[in-house]
């Protein structure tokens, strides 16, 4: 299975990159992982709503260009569906068997995702109503994808 993570912004801190490297290594036994870091737009503290929308549009264009045309796209969005780990596992299993085996997860920048990216998404997934740093979301997402593969294989890890 091919798992792609398209994300806005670059990880700078070693504790984030170390966690990503660990889960990427673990996932290597189950899937091919491709993490695409895209440049983020500068977002000064005092932006008008129109300027914020322009940032989302520009970042969204980069995201859409990075997605494979045939990929099943899951956008991480605060207003998306909330799944259990077992539901994510079932979703990935279904995509592996019936969906061509390629899933792209999208993590937006600090202002969220553009309407164009959200409309391209096949599913919108929420990790809850709280706001998380997008660096942390990368780690949480990879951990849950790893957990999903362990669940689907019936291997110990998920408790």
Kindly give the confidence (pLDDT) of every residue in the chain, 159 residues in length, as a single tens digit, with 9 standing for 90 and above.
999 999 999 998 999 999 999 999 999 999 999 999 999 998 888 899 999 999 999 999 999 999 998 899 999 999 999 999 999 999 999 998 888 889 999 999 989 999 999 999 999 999 998 888 888 999 999 999 999 999 999 998 866
| Cα dihedral 74, 92, 84, 133 sign | negative
C-alpha span between 93 and 131 (Å, rounded): 28
Instruction: Tell me how far apart the alpha carbons of residues 141 and 123 are, in angstroms, rounded to a whole number.
Output: 15
Output phi, psi for 13, to 5 deg. Answer: -80, 140
Q: Which residues of 8-41 are buried (b: 16+ CB within 10 A; e: fewer)?
A: bbebeeeebeebbeebbebbeebbebeebebebb
* 3-class SS of residue 78: strand
- pTM here is 0.94
Identify the pLDDT of residue 13: 92
Q: What is the C-alpha to C-alpha distance for residues 137 and 134, in angstroms, rounded to an integer?
A: 5
Alpha carbon distances (Å) from 159 to 41, 81, 107, 151, 154 = 39, 22, 26, 10, 12
- Residue indicated by tokens 């951990």: 143
Q: Of 82, 130, 135, 76, which Cα lies nearest the Cα of 103?
A: 76
């Amino acid at each position: 299975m091919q798992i792609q993570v398209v994300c806005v912004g670059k990880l700078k801190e070693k504790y984030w990159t170390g966690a990503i490297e660990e889960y990427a290594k673990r996932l290597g036994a189950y899937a091919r992982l491709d993490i695409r870091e895209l440049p983020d737009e500068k977002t000064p503290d005092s932006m008008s709503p129109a300027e914020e929308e322009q940032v989302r549009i520009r970042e969204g264009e980069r995201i859409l260009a990075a997605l494979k045309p045939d990929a099943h796209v899951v956008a991480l969005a605060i207003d998306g569906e909330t799944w259990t780990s077992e539901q994510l596992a079932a979703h990935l299993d279904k995509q592996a068997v019936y969906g061509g085996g390629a899933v792209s997860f999208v993590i937006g920048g600090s202002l969220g995702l553009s309407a164009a990216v959200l409309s391209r998404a096949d599913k919108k997934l929420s990790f809850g109503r709280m706001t998380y740093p997008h660096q942390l979301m990368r780690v949480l997402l990879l951990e849950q994808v790893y957990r999903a593969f362990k669940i689907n294989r019936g291997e110990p890890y998920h408790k």
